[in-house]
């Protein structure tokens, strides 16, 4: 017993000693995590070079764009053909993707032989052969009469500029068909099919086998965004942000990039980690100096690397008692399948002995242990190197997404990964060690790259169909110049109807006189109080205007909230609340004893009967206070001040915010005679000739007219421009049938239009995987500020996704692109409609004055105009295009509703003084 234990101990010691010797001998093949992370760093630098326009030509990693822009989202369906050409066997599949209860895939496939003479013949012969096999397959499946979409897995390096073309860069894997390199393989195949004339095929996509692997796995796991092949060769692809791919136009969304990582190190970046065995293997290969990374890790070379190591060790007397046989010296005698067999846990040593015996070396048990350990070092190095490059891709994905922890899936295929007993486990372990902040699922591709080609085609088919339907939905928002000229013409008609006595009562655009007869002339002077009521906040301002050489406007203000119950309560409650706020402000300023002149900015439609008197026509913007419509709002304010019995004020002017905007700008720029609000609401005013305002008797001079253009279209004159989404927003609003133009172009409603389009698109399965969240069903959730943020040129899609996630919408990259497109269409139409209205106004002023050419300034205010990244520019362009005889300058107003109210009051006081002096 003791003797046997001693013997066992002796052999264990011997075995350990042998292993230590080999570890020392092959020390340069064993990497610390520090070295692996350094390789990761080098790989990431190569990756960036490959993506850059200026560095791609000299980069070892070619980072080829594949034009695959999306992974399967689960909504694909249809009948597809997949061709898989990449070796001596050529496979054709018919893939049916259906949606009964859940997405299912049925596949029928057939393998056709690709004879040696065709592989080495002409390109015409090769593609005639492919077309013949496809014809045979379609005949057998009785589908020759159908023009099915075809996906073509072509497992050779290709340069692509779109999904359905691929220019062969170079043949690999023993293929040498002439006349194909540098030519589009899709064209060659289409030509061969056309020549036959007995069937048609719609080749929608040409894909690399690595991409096929990612797409196959992406069908089962929507998180899959990396594909890897570790077999005879090795390669990887992943979904890169389009903004980083300099070789492709555009920066919206993502695209799958074929890294062609087998060439990593071809520029000398890996020289310090290549061993003498790697160099010897490379020298004896068909392509010396190329695919150096692949030669260190892939199945095609692993057995040969082991053979070269064993030969050297035998020569140095470390193995086989120094015996070297002709078999051991013969290239290719040790294959990767032998390495896999040798490394098996249980029968590994037995298999080692069998394999070595066939090589004629008569191995001892120590030799078998040593050879097994050599194989382990070589295959472990391969797994470690692949882990280091994959870590580089995972780090990049994590940074691209801006997340602290990445959760993703890697689709993987290849004989080495699948057949080697320990490879997969070693790879997974090292990856998790190198990127601890990534949760990676490795998913084995079960059905190869053929199904992947069908999936790429299915996705392309889905995206093309989806794109067509989205374009159809949004086409109603894309207005032509002819349509915009028609809107301008109708606005002119409505302006005329509002000004004419006979049609005023029935007119939609009311053209209300404001009794503001002059713009400021610079002599205004004094202290004025201004009130500003136009939304959920109410402001009280003290405005000190000084004239002379150093004219100035100094303002103090305080903001007060108006609770919803007050907005929608009684009129008395609303005006008592307003007076309570004024009282607080006067206390704050210490000016309760002075009887100050006051301008009241009241941003709701009013029919003014004088500068200080106006009847509220209708509430807008969510206000519903009772007993106000049809009443003089200045009277209601004066009564509330009386009820308070604390102070007295001289209410000089009732001011609309649009008029206030015009007056503020006119104080700075005398040519300003138009005011525009493009914010929560939308309205315009301008200086009209008194002779044209038929509602008033006076024919002398000018008066500012408050157009109340938000109601343009309330008589149905814009019905042919309104979409189903406009109708939906109108029906669900607080004032159905009213303010229709405003509902198409103002900030209060744009987000709601977008939300309704998104719901419709989600129902149709274009967005959010067809799942309508509770958030999306919530009215008003999609605020217009989100449109401004989403459309910002500086904002990457990643940030668009985070905005959508903040709204509870779990979006993909593709969703973000569509949402952005919807926002752009809705806000562009809003800006164009606003521009068409403004073109009508400036042309009217030009014609009033009998001018061939008009120079005029428009004072503008409103959050939509100020904060939206493109609204102002689109509106300016529209005005320029539709009113070419007018040079229109747009001047941004500073506080039209506060400063403007004070200026109108000051002008009113000045005119009153002038009248009294006569």
Q: Is 657 a catalytic residue?
A: yes
CA atoms of 278 and 117, how far apart (whole Å) = 32
Q: DSSP letter string over 416-430?
A: HHHHSSSHHHHHHHH
Per DSSP bridges, beta strands 89-99 and 78-85 are antiparallel
pLDDT at position 676 is: 96
Token look-up 């359905």 returns 164
pLDDT at position 6 is: 40
CA atoms of 884 and 896, how far apart (whole Å) = 28
CA angle 642/647/651 to nearest 5° reads: 70
R_g of the chain, CA atoms, integer Å: 39
pLDDT at position 10 is: 39
Residue 208: pLDDT band (50, 70, 90) is: confident
Instruction: Pick the more confident residue, 77 or 616.
Output: 616
**Mean of pLDDT values over 483-487:** 97
Percent over 90 (pLDDT), the chain:
52
For residues 299, 304, 308, 310, the Cα torsion angle rounded to the nearest 10 degrees is 80
Instruction: Please pick, among 91, 307, 426, 539, the residue that the annotation labels catalytic.
Output: 539
pLDDT at position 314 is: 92
CA atoms of 314 and 316, how far apart (whole Å) = 5
With a cut of 80, say whether residue 195 has pLDDT above it. Answer: yes
CA angle 23/13/353 to nearest 5° reads: 70
pLDDT at position 232 is: 85
Taken as a whole, the chain contains a residue count of 918
pLDDT at position 381 is: 96
Burial string for 277-315 (b: 16+ CB within 10 Å, else e) reads bbebbbeebeeeebbbbbbbbbbbbbbbbbbbbbbbbbe
pLDDT at position 69 is: 83
- Min mean pLDDT across 146-150, 351-355, 495-499, 613-617 is at 146-150
pLDDT at position 1 is: 46
**Mean of pLDDT values over 308-334:** 91
With a cut of 70, say whether residue 705 has pLDDT above it. Answer: yes
Q: Which residues contact 318 (CB under 8 A, 6 or more apart)?
A: 21, 25, 370
pLDDT at position 437 is: 94
Residue 99: pLDDT band (50, 70, 90) is: low
pLDDT at position 101 is: 58
**Mean of pLDDT values over 842-860:** 96
Give the phi and the psi of residue 228 in degrees, each rounded to 5: -135, 140
pLDDT at position 8 is: 44
pLDDT at position 450 is: 66
The tokens describing 813, both together, are: 């990259």
With a cut of 90, say whether residue 75 has pLDDT above it. Answer: no
- Min mean pLDDT across 36-50, 569-583, 806-820 is at 806-820
**Mean of pLDDT values over 382-400:** 96
* Distance (Å) of CA 277 to CA 284, 370, 607: 11, 17, 94
Collapsed DSSP state (helix, strand, coil) of residue 794: coil
| 29: Cα within 13 Å, side-chain hemisphere | 26
Alpha helices in 746-808 (DSSP H): 747-763, 774-777, 784-790, 797-806
Instruction: Please pick, among 164, 367, 657, 895, the residue that the annotation labels catalytic.
Output: 657
pTM equals 0.71
With a cut of 70, say whether residue 640 has pLDDT above it. Answer: yes
Give pLDDT tens digits for 234-260. 999 999 998 899 888 777 778 999 999
Q: Is 539 a catalytic residue?
A: yes
With a cut of 80, say whether residue 273 has pLDDT above it. Answer: yes
pLDDT at position 896 is: 67
pLDDT at position 88 is: 65
**Mean of pLDDT values over 776-780:** 86
Q: Is 603 a catalytic residue?
A: yes
Here the contacts of 667-672 (C-beta below 8 Å, separation 24 or greater) are 667/519, 667/520, 667/522, 667/524, 667/553, 667/899, 667/903, 668/891, 669/857, 669/859, 669/889, 669/891, 670/519, 671/855, 671/856, 671/857, 671/889, 672/519, 672/856, 672/857, 672/858, 672/859, 672/891
Which of 444-448, 552-556, 815-819, 831-835 shows the highest mean pLDDT? 831-835
| Average pLDDT of the chain to the nearest whole number | 88
- Min mean pLDDT across 87-101, 225-239, 857-871 is at 87-101
CA atoms of 210 and 85, how far apart (whole Å) = 13
Which one, of 485, 478, 486, lies nearest residue 826 by Cα? 478
pLDDT at position 209 is: 84
Give pLDDT tens digits for 297-306. 999 899 999 9
Token look-up 């980083």 returns 244
Residue 448: pLDDT band (50, 70, 90) is: low
pLDDT at position 465 is: 82
Token look-up 């070595």 returns 356
Start-to-end CA distance of the chain, whole Å, equals 135
CA atoms of 403 and 242, how far apart (whole Å) = 18
DSSP letter (8 states) at residue 100: S
**Mean of pLDDT values over 513-528:** 85
Percent over 70 (pLDDT), the chain:
96
pLDDT at position 857 is: 96
**Mean of pLDDT values over 746-757:** 93
Instruction: Please pick, among 340, 603, 682, 893, the residue that the annotation labels catalytic.
Output: 603
Strand partners, 234: 230
């Amino acid at each position: 017993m003791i003797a046997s234990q001693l013997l066992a101990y002796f052999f264990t010691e011997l075995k350990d000693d042998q292993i230590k010797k080999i570890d020392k001998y092959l020390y340069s093949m064993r990497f610390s995590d520090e070295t692996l992370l350094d390789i990761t760093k080098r790989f990431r630098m190569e990756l960036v070079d490959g993506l850059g326009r200026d560095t791609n030509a000299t980069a070892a990693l070619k980072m080829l764009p594949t034009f695959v822009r999306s992974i399967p989202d689960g909504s694909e369906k249809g009948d597809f053909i997949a061709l898989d050409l990449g070796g001596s066997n050529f496979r054709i599949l018919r893939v049916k993707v259906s949606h009964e209860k859940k997405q299912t895939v049925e596949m029928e496939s057939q393998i056709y032989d690709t004879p040696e003479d065709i592989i080495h013949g002409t390109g015409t012969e090769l593609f005639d052969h492919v077309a013949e096999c496809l014809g045979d397959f379609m005949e057998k499946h009785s589908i020759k009469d159908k023009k099915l979409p075809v996906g073509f897995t072509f497992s050779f390096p290709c340069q692509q500029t779109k999904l359905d073309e691929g220019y062969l860069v170079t043949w690999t894997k023993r293929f040498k068909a002439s006349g194909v390199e540098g030519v589009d393989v899709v064209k060659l195949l289409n030509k061969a099919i056309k020549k036959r004339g007995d069937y048609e095929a719609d080749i929608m996509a040409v894909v690399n086998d690595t991409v096929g692997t990612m797409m196959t796995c992406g069908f089962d796991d929507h998180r899959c965004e990396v594909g890897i092949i570790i077999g005879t060769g090795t390669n990887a692809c992943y979904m890169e942000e389009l903004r980083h791919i300099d070789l492709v136009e555009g920066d919206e969304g993502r695209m799958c990039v074929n890294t062609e990582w087998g060439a990593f190190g071809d520029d000398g970046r890996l020289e310090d980690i290549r061993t003498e065995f790697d160099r010897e293997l490379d020298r004896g290969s068909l392509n010396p100096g190329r695919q150096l990374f692949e030669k260190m890790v892939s199945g095609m070379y692993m057995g040969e690397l082991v053979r070269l190591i064993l030969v050297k060790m035998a020569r140095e007397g470390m193995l086989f008692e120094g015996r070297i046989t002709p078999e051991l010296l013969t290239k290719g005698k040790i294959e990767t399948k032998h390495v896999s067999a040798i490394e098996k846990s249980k029968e590994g040593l037995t298999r080692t002995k069998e394999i070595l015996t066939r090589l004629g070396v008569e191995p001892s048990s120590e030799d078998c242990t040593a050879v097994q350990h050599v194989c382990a070092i070589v295959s472990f190095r391969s797994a470690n190197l692949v882990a280091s490059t994959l870590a580089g891709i995972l780090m990049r994905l994590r940074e691209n997404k801006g997340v602290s922890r990445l959760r993703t899936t890697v689709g993987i295929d290849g004989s080495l990964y699948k057949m080697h007993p320990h490879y997969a486990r070693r790879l997974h372990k090292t990856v998790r060690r190198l990127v601890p902040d990534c949760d990676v699922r490795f998913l084995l591709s079960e059905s190869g790259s053929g199904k992947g080609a069908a999936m790429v085609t299915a996705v392309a088919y889905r995206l093309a169909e989806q794109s067509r339907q989205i374009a159809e939905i949004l086409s109603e928002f894309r207005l032509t110049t002819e349509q915009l000229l028609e809107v301008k013409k109708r606005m002119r008609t409505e302006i005329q109807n509002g000004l004419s006595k006979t049609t005023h009562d029935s007119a939609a655009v009311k053209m209300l006189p404001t009794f503001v007869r002059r713009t400021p002339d610079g002599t205004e002077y004094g202290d004025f109080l201004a009130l500003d009521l136009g939304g959920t906040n109410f402001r009280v301002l003290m405005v000190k205007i000084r004239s002379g050489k150093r004219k100035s406007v100094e303002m103090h203000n305080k903001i007060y909230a108006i609770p919803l119950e007050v907005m929608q309560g009684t009129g008395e409650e609303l005006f008592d609340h307003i007076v309570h706020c004024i009282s607080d402000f006067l206390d704050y300023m210490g000016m309760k004893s002075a009887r100050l002149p006051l301008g009241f900015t009241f941003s709701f439609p009013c029919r003014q009967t004088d500068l200080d008197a106006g009847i509220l026509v209708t509430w807008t913007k969510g206000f519903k206070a009772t007993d106000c419509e049809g009443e003089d709002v200045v009277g209601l304010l004066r009564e509330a001040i009386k009820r308070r019995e604390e102070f007295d004020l001289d209410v000089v002017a009732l001011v609309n915010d649009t008029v206030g905007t015009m007056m503020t700008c006119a104080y700075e720029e005398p040519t300003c005679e138009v005011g525009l609000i493009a914010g929560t609401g939308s309205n315009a005013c301008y200086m009209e000739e008194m002779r044209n305002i038929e509602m008033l008797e006076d024919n002398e001079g000018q008066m500012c007219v408050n157009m109340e253009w938000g109601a343009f279209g309330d008589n149905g004159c814009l019905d042919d421009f309104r979409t189903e989404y406009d109708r939906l927003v109108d029906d669900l609003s607080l004032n159905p049938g009213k303010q229709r133009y405003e509902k198409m172009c103002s900030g209060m409603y744009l987000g709601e239009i977008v939300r309704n389009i998104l719901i419709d698109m989600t129902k149709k399965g274009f967005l959010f995987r067809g799942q309508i969240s509770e958030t999306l069903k919530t009215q008003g959730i999609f605020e217009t500020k989100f449109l401004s943020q989403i459309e910002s040129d500086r904002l990457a899609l990643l940030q668009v996704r985070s905005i959508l996630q903040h709204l509870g919408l779990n979006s993909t990259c593709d969703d973000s692109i569509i949402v952005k497109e919807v926002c752009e269409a809705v806000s562009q139409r809003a800006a164009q409609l606003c521009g068409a209205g403004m073109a009508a106004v400036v042309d009217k002023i030009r014609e009033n004055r009998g001018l061939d050419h008009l120079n005029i300034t428009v004072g503008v205010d409103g959050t939509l105009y100020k904060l939206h990244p493109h609204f102002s520019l689109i509106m300016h362009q529209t005005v320029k295009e539709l009113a070419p005889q007018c040079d229109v300058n747009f001047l941004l107003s500073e506080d039209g509703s506060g400063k403007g109210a004070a200026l109108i009051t000051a002008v009113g006081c000045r005119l009153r003084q002038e009248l009294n002096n006569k």
